[in-house]
Amino acid sequence: MARAWPGVVEHYAEWLPVTGVTPRITLLEGNTPLIRSEHLAQRLGDGVALYFKYEGVNPTCSFKDRGMTMALSKAVEEGAKVTICASTGNTSAAAAAYSTRAGIESVVLLPDGYVALGKLAQALAYGARTLAIDGDFDDCLALVKAIAESYPVALVNSLNPYRLQGQKTAAFEICDRLERAPDFHALPVGNAGNITSYWMGYTEYHEAGVVDARPAMLGFQAEGACPIVAGEVCERPETVATAIRIGNPARWQEAATALDESGGRIEAVTDEEILEAYRELSGEEGIFCEPASAASWAGLKKLAAEGFFEGEECTIAATLTGHGLKDPDRAVEMAEEPEKAPNDLETVAKMLGLA
């Protein structure tokens, strides 16, 4: 029998700061599909091969599981009894799940009223002590940082270096699948941990000679929450993509370095562009992701419209960071109501244009 997938910490142990005695706190995250675009890619240009790294099929339905398996494995190794994080929803879902898996407590601070329903459901279901703070994500992060400095709780936001270590495994998986690095890597940017992690992963594989080049990193922020694009803290971040509704990213400096070293770009996309991309991914490609994730595709289209990929034979990887079911309210709001129909064969056949 083929060896079962053991989760990212075990699979990539030699690339991670773990030893034989580090516990593996895992829900078998990672090994997510790299799906070649069949329908949307051609809009970027004839020579473009586009792949979606679909992180929505992780155990808690976002890429955060990669960082959280690593953070919890180290937290348990170091004797932690409680984790704490601030979150726009996905980090808290993962922190709650992996803390429970580890048999320890979790505390999550969320911006009251700005967390998608599925994510809130997860924090509650996994049993986190959940505080809805009268403030935004940046306020929540400032609170948890202060608490972690004064009390014996393990901070598991991406300020925790182990989170980045775990998340870099997504870059490894892409290279392992393609047997090379892509030319471009597109992803949404919020707190800027993920772009930092991918760049770390690509760089490590490159330095070890596993791949002979690194991609240019293409980061996309929502126009109403785009501090890195604007070059200044955004005091009142606002976007439908609540996952990336962040005004002062914790990994700003590292993201800037990744963009710079890779010769990449960071751009803002409007809520309208995000929602159009969101609809296209599910309705035309068959991949349902949450709004923030669709910033990857929205941004690629924007660059293509400027002629960015013109005449280039290139391979692009785009991370779809979270599952569409994370935000069911948005999905239903954007769609037509289902049609009412009687329980009657003839009428249903007629309605469908079959009879």
Which residues lie near ligand F0G (CB under 6 A)?
62, 64, 87-91, 158, 188-194, 243-244, 290, 292-293, 321-322
Q: What are phi and psi of 236, to 5 degrees?
A: -130, 75
**Min dist. Cβ of residue 166 to ligand F0G (A):** 12
Q: Select 188 or 215, whichever has its Cβ closest to ligand F0G.
A: 188
For residue 139, with 0-12 CB atoms within 10 Å meaning exposed, 13-18 middle and 19 or more buried, which class applies? middle
**Min dist. Cβ of residue 161 to ligand F0G (A):** 14
Spatial separation of the C-alpha atoms in residues 223 and 239, rounded to whole Å: 8
**Min dist. Cβ of residue 262 to ligand F0G (A):** 16
Q: Select 160 or 293, whichever has its Cβ closest to ligand F0G.
A: 293
Q: Select 48 or 243, whichever has its Cβ closest to ligand F0G.
A: 243
Query: If DSSP codes are grouped into helix, strand and coil, which group holds residue 111?
Result: strand
Beta strands in the chain (DSSP E): 34-36, 48-54, 82-86, 105-111, 129-133, 154-155, 184-188, 216-222, 265-269, 314-320
Which residue is listed with tokens 């051609």?
Answer: 42
**Min dist. Cβ of residue 34 to ligand F0G (A):** 17
Q: Select 22 or 197, whichever has its Cβ closest to ligand F0G.
A: 197
Q: Select 243 or 317, whichever has its Cβ closest to ligand F0G.
A: 243
Q: Select 158 or 165, whichever has its Cβ closest to ligand F0G.
A: 158
How many C-alpha atoms does 351 have within 13 Å on its Cβ side? Answer: 11
Classify the C-alpha dihedral 220-223-227-232 as positive or negative.
positive
Measured between alpha carbons, how far apart are the two ends of the chain, in Å? 50
| The two structure tokens encoding residue 168 | 């870099």
Q: Select 130 or 191, whichever has its Cβ closest to ligand F0G.
A: 191
**Min dist. Cβ of residue 278 to ligand F0G (A):** 12
| The two structure tokens encoding residue 344 | 């009657």
Contact 67, 197 (CB under 8 A): yes
Contact 318, 279 (CB under 8 A): no
Contact 85, 156 (CB under 8 A): yes
